[in-house]
Amino acid sequence: MIIPAAPVPWPGRARAAASFSFDLDAESAILFADPSSATRMSVMTHQSYGPLVGVPRLLRLLEHHRIRATFFVPGYSAHRHPGAVRDIVAAGHEVAHHGYLHETLTGVDPVTEAGYLDRGLAALEEVAGVRPVGYRAPMWELNYHSPGLLAERGFLYDSSLMDADVPYELATATAAGPTSLVEIPLQWALDDWEQYCYLPGISGSGLIETPAKALALWRAEFDAMRAEGGCFVLTCHPFLSGRPSRAAALGELLAAAAGAPDVWVASLAEIAGHVRSLGLAPRELPPPEPW
């Protein structure tokens, strides 16, 4: 029997938490999904808009609202756009792991997956001198063996699963024995990809929603999570939400979060550290039994 995650006490007067995360996929996600896209100059520039223009704009926005965010950076993005990654670190934000070439992990064996993890770690170390404590699986597709690989490499938390409104300790098996990893759940309704991504022949519904529609969706979830005492985790991509009107809409949400006295706005690493300090009993999440 799988036991639901228990409510989490938040620091100080806070009755809920909120975190703003950015996946710096840039070219990597598209190159992995379709290697032939490397020859599509216009598509490549659509992606590089993220680190080139989106990141500076988003860093200004976050600074204005005094919010520390988490940036999940594929190693390939760090190698191709080292200046953007160093600027993120210099601005005081968290840099976390997001694969090397944004490799989808579905059906990938543990040895191959470990190689992706180690290559990504080496890239972040080389470019930004960062040893990340956090991980988010590319395409948010974790394998049941993934948490063990993360724990063996010293990661504190993952943010790729979807079965709770609050973070929890995830029971994790490693070669050295059982341990746990903090899990900070997310959901596709709080991802700008579903609202804005249009890449002809590659990804997206073909619909590009208005910033007002995305803001309304996210604001409703923020208000409800606040009332429920949950952990609101938004995921944006700089090549999408770094565009002017979308960044402006995001700014409205940042203002609402920063102005809510009962909401703890923090990076995912800070939230994970808080959860770890609570000494929660790890939850077991076994794969489905054969049917």
User: What are the DSSP calls for 232-275, one per residue?
Assistant: EEEEE-HHHHTSHHHHHHHHHHHHHHHT-TTEEE--HHHHHHHH
The minimum distance between CB 12 and Zn ion, in angstroms, equals 32
Nearer residue to Zn ion within complex by CB, 55 or 275 = 55
Which H or E element spans position 219? helix 211-228
Nearer residue to Zn ion within complex by CB, 23 or 192 = 23
The minimum distance between CB 78 and Zn ion, in angstroms, equals 13
Cα torsion through 122, 140, 133, 98, rounded to 10: 20
The minimum distance between CB 140 and Zn ion, in angstroms, equals 8
Question: In terms of DSSP H, where are the helices of 68-206?
Answer: 75-80, 82-90, 110-128, 146-152, 193-196
Nearer residue to Zn ion within complex by CB, 138 or 169 = 138
Query: 77 by DSSP, 3-state: which?
Result: helix
Nearer residue to Zn ion within complex by CB, 23 or 169 = 23
The minimum distance between CB 103 and Zn ion, in angstroms, equals 10
The minimum distance between CB 105 and Zn ion, in angstroms, equals 12
User: Sign (positive/negative) of CA torsion 216, 217, 223, 226?
Assistant: negative
Nearer residue to Zn ion within complex by CB, 54 or 169 = 54
C-beta of residue 271 within 8 angstroms of C-beta of residue 167: yes
User: What are the DSSP calls for 103-118, one per residue?
Assistant: ---TT--HHHHHHHHH
Ranked by CB distance to Zn ion, the top (closest) residue is 23
200, burial (CB in 10 Å: exposed 0-12, middle 13-18, buried 19+): exposed
The minimum distance between CB 50 and Zn ion, in angstroms, equals 11
The minimum distance between CB 21 and Zn ion, in angstroms, equals 10
Residue 246: what are its φ and ψ, rounded to 5°? Answer: -75, -40
Interhelix angle 55-65/82-90, rounded to 10 degrees, is 10
The minimum distance between CB 203 and Zn ion, in angstroms, equals 11
Nearer residue to Zn ion within complex by CB, 25 or 27 = 25
Q: Which of 138, 167, 197 is nearest to 19 (CA)?
A: 167
**Site residues (vs Zn ion, CB under 5 A):** 23, 25
- Which residues have C-beta within 8 Å of that of residue 162, sequence separation ≥ 6? 140, 185, 186, 187, 188
Extract the tokens encoding 56: 């500076």
Nearer residue to Zn ion within complex by CB, 23 or 183 = 23
Nearer residue to Zn ion within complex by CB, 25 or 103 = 25
